Amino acid sequence: MAFKVTTVRLPEETVEALEDLSDKLRRERSEVMREAIQIGIGEMKLRLALELYREGRVSFGRTAELAGLSQRALFMELKQRGIPYRYSEESFMEEAQRLVG
């Protein structure tokens, strides 16, 4: 994996929290920062996908793709976050057609 250097200004409390976490994990601060950023990006992608789904702008399958989740994992996220699963008549007909052959 190739790395690029970037600069970011962080509040002093955030830097202290990173240093504390790095010490507790016994890992380099830069490694902890990279992991935290990746986790944050994943969560932001999920939130965006869920918002689009909640607004009815994307389908369940597309939401899973945008979030980078399996459909089963997405279903669990919807349940955990109290977001109702939308199941349209069109989706029902497509699934019924697939089952019937």
Q: Considering the domain boundaries, does residue 23 fall inside one?
A: yes
Closest CA to 95 of 64, 63, 60, 69: 60
Compute the average pLDDT of residues 31-49: 97
Q: What pLDDT, on a 0 to 100 scale, did the predictor assign at position 89? A: 72
Q: What pLDDT, on a 0 to 100 scale, did the predictor assign at position 98? A: 79
Q: Considering the domain boundaries, does residue 4 fall inside one?
A: no
Based on the number of CB atoms within 10 Å of its own CB, is 22 exposed (0-12), middle (13-18) or buried (19 or more)? middle
Structure token pair of residue 28 = 């380099």
Q: Considering the domain boundaries, does residue 1 fall inside one?
A: no
CB atoms under 10 Å from CB of 11, counted, come to 8
Mean pLDDT over the full length of the chain: 92
Instruction: Give me the domain span that covers residue 80.
Output: 12-100
Closest CA to 73 of 100, 49, 37, 99: 49
Q: Considering the domain boundaries, does residue 52 fall inside one?
A: yes
Compute the average pLDDT of residues 46-60: 95
Q: What pLDDT, on a 0 to 100 scale, did the predictor assign at position 35? A: 97
Q: Considering the domain boundaries, does residue 6 fall inside one?
A: no
In the chain, % of residues over pLDDT 90: 79
